[in-house]
Each structure stands twice: as C-alpha cells, then as structure tokens.
Structure 1
Amino acid sequence: MARKAAAEWVGTPRIRGGSEPVRMILLTFSLIGLQLTWGLEQTYCTPYLLSLGMSKSTTSAVWIAGPLSGLLVQPIVGAMADRCTSKYGRRRPFMVGGSAVTSLCLILLGWTKELVSIFVSTDSQYGKKVVIVTAVLSIYALDFAINVVQACCRSIIVDVLPTQQQQTGSAWAARMAASGHVIGFMIGTLPLVDILPTWIGGDTQFKKMCLVATLGLWFAISTTCYAVQERVLLRRSEDDSTSGITGVLASLWKRIWNLPPRIQMICWCQFWGWIGWFPFLFYSSTWVGETYYRYEHPEKQNQSQGGDALGNIGRLGSLALVLFSVITFASSVLMPYFVRKPEDDDETGTGMNGASKSSRGRFTPRPPPSLSKTCQTILMRIYEKLSTYDYKPDLVTTWGLSNLAFALIMVWAPFVRSLAFATTLVALCGLPWAVSCWAPFAEMGIEINKLAHGGNANGSISVTAGAATNRGYVPVRPSMDIDDEDDDIELVETANRHVRSASVVSSGVLHLSHSHDDGTSSSTGELAGIYLGVLNVYTTLPQFVGTFISWVVFSLLEPSRTTVVEEGGGGATSGTEGDVADDHKKFLKLEGVNSIAVCLFIGAVCAVVAAEATRRLRKMS
C-alpha cells in the first residue's frame, strides 16, 4: 500500500528573552489584551445598551452572542489555523487579523451614534432603532472577532512549548489573564473623562475605555507576535488536504466523535465544572447586593450615600468581585509552586514510565555536623520518612480539589444572611477559579503534545540515526539546523500502535506524519487548534445548560408579584412590575427563597460531579 505524502515543515519554534520567566511572559502576554477587551464588554456594554433605549429582557438576549460565538468560531478558526501555510506561521496571521476586526468593532461600538448620524438623523425613532441595531451587530461582530484571537492565543502556547512545559505555560497564561482583568478594572475605576482631554477617546468614559482596550489589545498582541517564532507549515499531509468551511466542519465533527479517551475525559471535567461556574460568574455580584437588602434591612439613605438600590447592588457586587480578582491573581502566581510539574515525575516518586525512583532530589541533605549524632540520626530518619511521601499533588488532583473547594464554598449560598458572609464566599472562590483557568488548558496541551510526539515526556522527536534531536521549543538563538545525514528516520511506538515516519531533505524541511488507530493522520502539533476548539465547545455548551437551569429556577421561585424597594432602600410595597413605571423605584425580590442562591447551590452540586470526573481522569493516567 502506497504511503501518503507527509506534511512538510520548516523552522523551529523559539521565543525571545534571556530567561525562562521572560519567555513565558512574552508568550502569554497577548492574553492581557484579550482580557481588557472582555472586561470592557462585560462591564460597560449592558449599561450602554440600556442607555440606547433597549429593555433589560432584550439586552439579556443579546448576550447569547458570547456562548454562540465561542461554540462556532473557536473550533472552526482553530481548525483553519491548523491548516494555515502562511510564511508567518499558523497562529499569528489569525491573531493580527482578528485584532484588526476587534479594533474596528470597538470603535464602531463606542461611536455608534456619531457614525449613524452621518447617514440618518439619530433624533428620529427610525434613527434610534438604527443606532440600537448597529450597536447590537457590533457586539456580535466583536464577540466573534475576540474568539478568533483567543483561539490562536491559546493554540500558539501549545504549538511552541514541549510537553513538560505545557503546565508552566498554562499557569503563566492564567496569570496574564488575571493581570489583564485587574488592570482593566483599575483603569475603569479612574475618571478618564477628567484625566484625558476630549481629543483622546471622546467625551465619555465608555468611548475612552474603548480606545484603551483597542490600544491595549494591539500592544499585547504585537508583543507576543514579535517575541514568538512559529514553525511554518509548507504543505499539509494528504489526509489533511480538505479545505474550506465544509472540510473544516467535517474534520471537526469527526474529531468530536473520535476523541482520545483522556482528552474526552478532560472535556467532561470542563463541561461539569462550567455548569457550576456559570451562575457564579453571571449572578454573584447581584446576589451579594440582594443579600444586603434582603437580610440587613438598610435604613433610608440620603443622596450623598447613594440612595439608588440598583446602583448600590452594583457597587457592593463590584467590591466583592475586586476581592475575587485579587485572590485569583495571587493564586495564579503562587499555586504553581505547590503543584507537581510533569518533569518532577522524572526526579521523584515514580517516573513517567512508572519506574520507581530511589531518591527525591539530586543530593541528600545532611544535618549540621555541630549537632549530636543522636539529633543527626533523628533528623535523617525524619527526612527519609518524608521523602517517601509525594507531598505535592499533581495538576489533575489539584483540579479535582479545586472543584470540591468551590462546591464547599457555594453550598453555603442559601444560608447566607449577611453582606460580609456573601462577600467572603465570593472572594474565596478566587482560589478554585485560578485553578479552573489553568488546569484544563495545561492538561489539554500535554495530551496534544503526547499525541504529536508519541507520549514522549519531553516533547522531543528522537533521531535514531544520530544524536541530534528536534526539541519542541528553543530560546531566541537561531533555528536549529537539521543534519542532512538524518534521512528517512523511522519512529515506531508499539505501545500505542502509532507509526510515524519522518524525513529531512537538504533544504532543511522536516517531513513528519502520524498514523492513528482511527485511520486518521496529521502532522506534529497540527491538531492543537481543533482540539482546543473542541475543549471550548465543552466550555460553551454548559453556558446554554446553565441559562436553562437559571430560567427554570427563576420561573419557579420568582412569582409575578414582587416587592418594590423605593429609592433609598426604605419602605417596601407589594405590587406587580407592570403596575410600577416610576423610574425612582427599583425592583427587588425580598421575600421567599433567594432564587440566585438556589442557582449557586445547583452549581455547587455540579462542581462535585466535576470533581468525580477529575478523579476518573487521574485514574486514566
């Protein structure tokens, strides 16, 4: 049977920088700009749409754009990028192109009225409708464009780093995302209208934030694109010759239904975990403020204290989310030091191949000679005893523990009766959230690299004809030259029944193909985009499930009659929402079961299911 043509690659992935932390920062720096854009949309776009005259129910329907775009765009773009043969690499062209569209959408969103007024009078009813439609379409386009950039920012980490550094790279990605969130929130709290002149970003806070997000996105994306060099795909393998949206969708569909067992379990862990996180991310700030009005019965406030009940709910919820963001950032910085890395398995406990190691480190520490022999003997015995225990959990175990921690925190939601307690619970969730932003991508990156490199722990492709190796990534020094003598190299992995063939021609082009049990084949690292896209599908679907669960809970527990809290938070009267049209009155459900707390409790139950899924994932190791 004739062998199908293998994919052709040229170059070696490399990252600028003189130290490992600097290289990791440069590789993941793009996520800061992404988070600035997401933060702007989540914080400002709802009030902006309301200010244009949209109703709250209609505004809530607009936000289906987020999960919809994530469900469609990331897998498709990831698969298309996998097949990209641009001389600049597979990911960077999509990152730049997506950033350009995102910038245009931000400008269009911030200056919607001004741009529409060029064609239609915005004072007329027709003009106002055109403004609303334009703003909504801008948000949809913005969501789709951001997902294009995000898909490739994640994929480039998997492409460049070898298996043993996937966990570290994902940890740095979580740190950069948390940093972007904190930076964006801090900038948003500044009175930019007073600080910056009108000619810089216009005359409103929203316009200036749009400009800040645009500049921040371009700076972050440009930094990563400049610092990282990708391998170039010269020609796809014959099995991956399908092109166009139809071919991409067919390949995506096939991958979803033929996922490797561990990747499938990672996706299920993500699925159940995100059903748990959905109500927290969308409703926690409102829950904090509502708890204050429900159980602490604030006395009538004067105007200087802020008598708007709705405004106070937002302010109190924002304070809780600030603490949540700070703990998330601190956890993302510190947590990786307390989790065992893949390379540690080669030095401690059991190795990657399951072989037992006799010692934990490279040397055995000795007690100070000044101590008595008895003390030295006791200390040595204590050390030997401790050295037999693997006191650092691996990442999968940490992921499972974080799911349990989130469940233990949110299970108290229905019993909360004070603002301080609610704020504390929200803030504590920053720890498990940091792990949830880190673990899935790290584990997925490790599995993708194992598929690409036959499970080799260090992510290298061993050259049997000589001593040279093509490592997964190198620092800023020039790309490694491949020896011409290493031709027609055969790599056979009998354990997984994968047969790989690689050949190097005199031009420095690497030919490499993989054969899988399902009859498909792909080039090394060629599946990073599509597999991360599949992971995003399992991240997005829970948002639809969570929306349905929340709708059912709200429908059952929120009757048509509500309690009206007048401005100032003082008295309360009973009536229907339709009976009260006074803008000086705000609506809060202060009696009966707290429906948001019930949603949070259901999320805690789902987090327990996610913890069980991670336990099963660990058994599959």
Structure 2
Amino acid sequence: MTYGTPYLLQLGLTKSKTSLVWIAGPLSGLIMQPIVGAYADKSTSRYGRRRPYMIIGALITGLGLLLLGWTSEAVGLFIAEGETKKSVTILVAVLCIYALDFSVNAVQACSRSLIVDTLPISQQQAGSAWASRLTAAGHLLGYFIGTFDLVKIFPPWLGGDTQFKKMTVISALALWGTVGVTSWAVTERVRLPGDNDETSIKDVLANLWQRTTHLPPRIKAICWVQFWNWVGWFPFLFYSSTFVGEVYYRYEHPAPEPGEKDEHDALGNIGRLGSVSLVLFSLITFCSSVILPYIIRTPDAAAEKFTPRPPRALTKTAQILLMKAYTLQPDLTSAWMWSNLLFAMITICAPWVHSLASATALVASCGVPWAVSCWAPFGLLGVEINKISAGPHAQLHGPTAPGYTAVRGSIEEGDEDIEMEEALQRRRGLSEGVLMINHPSDHGAHSSTGELAGVYLGVLNVYTTLPQFVGTFLSWIIFTLLEPNKDDVVADEDPDHHRWLSLKKNAPNAIAICLFVGAICSIIAAEAARRLRRMT
C-alpha cells in the first residue's frame, strides 16, 4: 500500500494507467473470496479444509512479492536494455500485482474461516477481537519498519539494494512465518465426503447475486452507506503515501547544488515519508478502536426502557453532568454518519495542502473515521442478522452461504457415525487426533444464525468491492485529465524521479483532487447513514 503506486510510476507507468492496475484489488475480493471459501468448505483433504488453500496462497503471494521487487532484474535475464525491456518490465510488475491480490485473498478467506471453524460459539467474539488487534499491530509494525532507511541498516546482500526490495523480502518472510505457525498450531477438522460435494463457480456467484438483489430494507440501507463510504475511502487507501511524498517533493525538497544532479532513491524516500504518516494513522486508528466503543451507545443500551441512575456517591452536579452525557451518547448509526462527515471535512482540504507536516496531519487524522468505518457496518449488520434469526422466519430453507458450511453431524452424534468415521479414517490413513466433520444428506438444509451471517457478510463484501471499481474509474479520469503533458517533461539531464513525480507547483495535484472527490462521496454516505437512522 505504501510503495505500490510510486513503484509503478518509477517503472514508467502513467498515473492514469496505474489507477487501472488497482482494479485487481476489488476484482479479486469480489471473485476469489467467495470461490475459495466455497471450495474450501467442500474440501475433504486429510490436511484440513483451510490449511492447503492457505499455504498455497501464501507461497504464491510471497513469490509474487519477491518477483515484484526484482522485476527489472528478472526481465533483464532474458531481454536486453531498451524500450522492449521497459514495456515487459511494466507488464510483469502488473501481473505480479494481480497474482498477489488474488492469492492473498485466498489466504485471508481461509485464515478468517479458521476462527469460525475451530472456536466454540463462546469464544467466537474473543477470536474476532484478537484478529482485529493483531491486524492493527501488523499494520503498525509494517509501517514502522518502513520509516527506517533499510538500505543503510542492512547490507545489499540482505534483501537487495533498494528500500522497496528489502520491504518485499520482509513482507514475504513475515507472511510465510505467520502462515507456517498457524498451520502448525491449529488443529483442523477433516470433512467427510458427502453427496453434495460438487460446487461450481457459477453456482457460488449465482447464489451471491440472488442474495445481493433480495435484501431486507435495513440491511440494504446499511450496504448503501458502505458503498458510498468506500467510494470515498478508495483514493485515500491507495494514494495517501504518494500524496504525502509528492507534496514534500513539490514544495519542500531542497534543490540540488548548481551543476549537480539530484540522484537518490526517491521511491524509498517517498515510502519512508508515507510510512511515517501511516504509522500515525494506524496508531490513531488503534487508539480510537479501543476508546470509541466506550463512548458510543451499544444497541442493547439503546433498546433499554429505563433510565440508568448515576452512583449516589457523586455530587449532585456530577450526577447531572453524567446524566447529560448519557443522553448525548450517540448510537452506532449516528457515529457512522458523523465519522463520514469528519472524513469529508479532512480530505476536502487536500488540494490546499502545501507542506509535509500538513499532509502528514491530514493522513493521520483520518484514523478516527477509519476506526468507525471498520467497525460500524459489521456491528449494525450483526444486529439486523440477530433480529432476522430471532424472527418467525429464522429457519429458512435454502443454500448455505459461500465460505460457511452447515455442520449437521459429528462424531458425537451416534455410534454409527463414529464407526463410519473410524473406518474411513483408517482407510485414508488419518491420525486418530484429527477431528472429522460429516454432513449427512438425509436432513434438509436449514439456515442458522451463522449461515445468515455468512450470506449477508458476503453481500456486504460485494458492496465493499464494487465501489472500488467506481473509485478506480474516477481516479483514471482525474489522472488522465491532470497528468503532465509533454511540455512539462524535464530535460534529459534531470534525475529520473522528475519524470514520474508531478513537481510543478502551480499545477493541480491529481491525487489531491481524487481525495476531494472522495470527500464529496463521504458526504453522500453521511446522508445515507442519516436516512438509515430514521428507518424503523
């Protein structure tokens, strides 16, 4: 996220074409997660349902990262210097990014499913909470490492001779290490073959489409808030680090001494500057995610029919202030609305940011609305799913959700099941410690609360990925209109980074305009949240 855009610009790709490359993210999220989830659900591998897909995805992702870092050198083994090599290098880098996006989605889908598969219901919430904490810690650690000049710290033989190469090595090793530990530590259940094991990609996508087009009113409203919310966030998530670096190089980077060429690792420098701002952004996000749940009223509290009494030990003035604070405590929908307005107020100022400090402050302050945006849609959707599950139509007949399997039989249910599973276990050579999942075909498929969650979380994923296509298209238009023309290209003796950075001070900053458009979309999301709040 920090180095991707400036790396492609350094290779020679224009900003408008770079924006089209990032369509790989939403495309892979829209297609890979439900497909991998469905096929993993049906897997009868002796190594577990998730582990094989997770390991293969991690291997492809790690190799893709390494090839991305050494794209030019790898292409140079087969093609001599020239325009052909430059074009092929760009093509290979783009293909690496697509391979990375698709394979890492397989890793994410399976690692998230492990929480559902392996933990009892009483520990599901704790497992999800720990996953969120470790994700935030990983972001902080990754961005923090990126702030250091790794080229000076480590020798060239350890991870290459540029900041970007060393970061790809660190990322690949971190991914392989964590997936390896998870695969070793987690005991997976092995699913027995059943009569309904055939799953086609067409069936998975058709089921997802049907669910998406037939939503309950409040869930549809939540999804539309999420749609406009993500149109607004897209340019920030993909271009914020480049925005910070470009502001620095445009307004504050010292000019070289007369007669000297300003040659240095501009990509690594932009990555470090962007990493500093993203470290602060992640730190604020983490702190906000810890503090805000205590400030925002929970759904249970909002439904209470009594007024809480403050402790009598407090003074009368303190009791009055505490009661006033309680009445002002916002619900989650209101917090989501205000967070969208806050994000719009911050990013709408992007075109007028002309210093590194203000650009860093802009990126960092977005950590507060981002914390709410990562939490609110799932919290609100969970409330609606529980309402549906508790209603008269809770037991719905139909297909299970992509990525979730309805476990209707297990080794505890009867001697016949135990004998059948033990026989199959001996036949397949499985160890006695492996837990087996059996899905008898003589019972009808009933949607449980977990399966409803799978259905509607899959739909929410659609409303999260589709706006990224919209954001890509808008970014492409803006970059096409505002890219420097041939008259703005510097002389041959100028350094390379002058060719892929927009350094003309009086010219509009294309990324800042993208952030401005994202702010307008966030205002629309706030209005959608206001309408959601007024729904009964």
Which TM-score applies when normalising by structure 2? 0.74
Task: After TM superposition, give the deviation of residue 155 of structure 1 in Å.
Answer: 4.1
Of 107, 112, 118, the match for 1:149: 107
Task: After TM superposition, give the deviation of residue 444 of structure 1 in Å.
Answer: 4.2
- 2:392 matched to which residue of 1? 494
Per-residue CA distance 1:388-439 (angstroms, 9 max, x = gap) = x456544333322211211222233345455544432222111111222233
**Contact 2:230–2:467 (CA under 8 A) maintained in structure 1:** yes
- 1:213 aligns to 2:138 (yes or no): no
- 1:253 matched to which residue of 2? 209
> Any unmatched runs of 5+ in structure 1?
1-41, 369-374, 456-492, 562-574
Q: What letter is aligned with 1:190?
A: F
- 1:367 matched to which residue of 2? 313
Q: How many residues align?
A: 499
Task: After TM superposition, give the deviation of residue 539 of structure 1 in Å.
Answer: 1.8
Alignment of structure 1 residues 484-523 onto 2, 5 Å: 494=392, 498=396, 505-507=413-415, 521-522=446-447
- 1:78 matched to which residue of 2? 37
Identity over aligned residues, as a percent? 54
Task: After TM superposition, give the deviation of residue 274 of structure 1 in Å.
Answer: 0.9
- 2:200 matched to which residue of 1? 244
SS at match of 2:139: helix
- 1:95 matched to which residue of 2? 54
Task: After TM superposition, give the deviation of residue 309 of structure 1 in Å.
Answer: 12
CA distance in 2, matches of 1:499, 1:251: 13
Task: After TM superposition, give the deviation of residue 247 of structure 1 in Å.
Answer: 2.0
Per-residue CA distance 1:190-217 (angstroms, 9 max, x = gap) = 3445544666545554443333212211
- 1:329 aligns to 2:290 (yes or no): no
- 1:62 aligns to 2:18 (yes or no): no
- 1:350 aligns to 2:307 (yes or no): no
Task: After TM superposition, give the deviation of residue 275 of structure 1 in Å.
Answer: 1.0
Task: After TM superposition, give the deviation of residue 321 of structure 1 in Å.
Answer: 3.3
CA distance in 2, matches of 1:195, 1:310: 17
CA distance in 2, matches of 1:278, 1:578: 29
Per-residue CA distance 1:245-294 (angstroms, 9 max, x = gap) = 22222222222222344433332221100111122233444444555677
CA distance in 1, matches of 2:413, 2:280: 56
> Any unmatched runs of 5+ in structure 2?
399-405, 418-436
- 1:603 matched to which residue of 2? 518
Task: After TM superposition, give the deviation of residue 612 of structure 1 in Å.
Answer: 2.7
Task: After TM superposition, give the deviation of residue 86 of structure 1 in Å.
Answer: 5.0
- 1:400 matched to which residue of 2? 337
SS at match of 2:2: helix
**Contact 2:348–2:519 (CA under 8 A) maintained in structure 1:** yes
SS at match of 1:438: helix
- 1:264 matched to which residue of 2? 220
Q: What letter is aligned with 2:313?
A: P
| CA 429–158 in structure 1, closer or farther in 2 if over 3 Å, else same | farther
Of 122, 136, 144, the match for 1:178: 136
- 1:410 aligns to 2:321 (yes or no): no
| CA 398–167 in structure 1, closer or farther in 2 if over 3 Å, else same | farther
**Contact 1:448–1:525 (CA under 8 A) maintained in structure 2:** no
Once structures 1 and 2 are overlaid, which stretch shifts more, 178-187 or 50-59? 50-59
CA distance in 2, matches of 1:268, 1:46: 28
Of 550, 553, 572, the match for 2:475: 550
CA distance in 1, matches of 2:249, 2:150: 31
Once structures 1 and 2 are overlaid, which stretch shifts more, 441-450 or 130-139? 441-450
Q: What letter is aligned with 2:144?
A: M
Alignment of structure 1 residues 519-598 onto 2, 5 Å: 521-522=446-447, 525-526=450-451, 531-554=456-479, 558=482, 576-577=487-488, 580-584=491-495, 585=498, 587-591=502-506, 594-598=509-513
- 1:428 matched to which residue of 2? 365
Structure with greater strand percent: 1
**Contact 1:285–1:320 (CA under 8 A) maintained in structure 2:** yes
CA RMSD of aligned residues (A): 4.6
Q: What letter is aligned with 1:108?
A: L
Alignment of structure 1 residues 220-239 onto 2, 5 Å: 220-225=178-183, 234=192
SS at match of 1:97: helix
Structure 1 or 2, whichever has the larger Rg, is 1
Structure with greater helix percent: 2
CA distance in 1, matches of 2:322, 2:9: 65
Q: What letter is aligned with 1:506?
A: G
CA distance in 2, matches of 1:528, 1:301: 58
